[in-house]
Amino acid sequence: MNTRALPSAAAFGKVAVLMGGRSAEREISFMSGKGVLAALRARGVDAHAFDPAERPMDDLRREGFERCFIALHGRYGEDGTVQGALELLGIPYTGAGVLASSIAIDKVVAKQVWIAHGLPTPPSVHLRRGEYDAARLRQIPSELGLPLIVKPSREGSSLGVTKVTSADQLAAAVATAAARDVDVLCEQCITGDEVTCGVLGTGADAQALPLIHIVVPGGEYDYQNKYFTDKTEYRVPCDLPAAEERAVQALALRAYRALGCRGWGRLDVMIDGATRAPWLLELNTSPGMTGHSLVPNAARAAGMSYEDLCLRLLAGATLDYPAERSAQ
């Protein structure tokens, strides 16, 4: 892992750690943001908490903030909206830009891009508003097989996700997902090993972190098992064959670059238990930074402390159009 020299704390200027926000992941965002804030302050950075749900974004410019560390998750933070506001304000920020953020959070669109690039992602059916009728739902099990996964297209932290094992469960699962997003994704369920791969950097310089093998009690990596249990196992170094780990890392880098991501991200992947083929599920452009979060654990396995990870991400803060900022 490249551990290039980081700027001094003073070089970052006044930094806002964006946390909280308006999404259903507000609680988790505060957990991530407080961890980042403490880490940056421990390294001497002039960092301050900033909740976009409680304050107007223009306060960032009025109060002289020079960079933003985005610790927001889900809508209004990971979907290109906050990124667009920061572009207008001319304040560099961590993570993916406007377009990559908006594509990545939309699981349907992200899958379309990956398919266009020849990358493997499970077969799926996209249900738009008004397409939840019983006749359409009856067709889906024959198209995708059972079990299948039903999820909102634009949501995170496994909120609104249901594993459907029989056709009579499908209508309720779609209703659960539709309560969070009018676009619903029904996806073939891949049975096997669940892994995740963090990526740091941009373009050709992007690097894959060590793979984490996620082993969950009962096999359901839901909201509760992600954040509020100590029973989920995060096996890093990964206990899968080295060749499989390298293949998934290579796939993750291709998927990350295909969506045009920068700074950092995390790819969730299923490895088919029978064929050992990897399948892309989704890409998170503002991954969690909590005590249970995966990218910090993977970075630690690569020899990078939580504090150094935060500094590296902050050092990569930029704009889609940085030249226009300097011309203001």
**Residue positions annotated with a catalytic role:** 25, 157, 227, 266, 268, 282, 284, 288
DSSP 168: G
CB 155 within 8 A of CB 130: no
Q: Which helix (H) or strand (E) holds 237?
A: none
Burial class (CB in 10 A: 0-12, 13-18, 19+), 108: middle
Within 8 A by CB and 6+ apart from 236, the residues are: 210, 211, 212, 213, 297, 298, 301
- What is the rounded distance in angstroms from the CA atom of residue 112 to the CA atom of residue 104? 11
Output the six-digit token pair for 120: 């493997």
CB 281 within 8 A of CB 220: no
Amino acid letter, 255: A
For 179, list phi and psi in degrees, rounded to 5: -70, -20
Q: Which helix (H) or strand (E) holds 263?
A: none
Helix, coil or strand: residue 285: coil
Output the six-digit token pair for 219: 């096999």
Preceding peptide of 147 cis, ω within 30°: yes
Output the six-digit token pair for 258: 């295909």
Q: Residue 37's closest CA among 8, 70, 61?
A: 70
Handedness of CA 247, 197, 273, 160 (dihedral sign): negative
Amino acid letter, 31: M
- What is the rounded distance in angstroms from the CA atom of residue 323 to the CA atom of residue 321? 6
Burial call 298-317: b when 16+ CB within 10 Å, e when fewer = bbbbbebebbbbbbbbbbbb
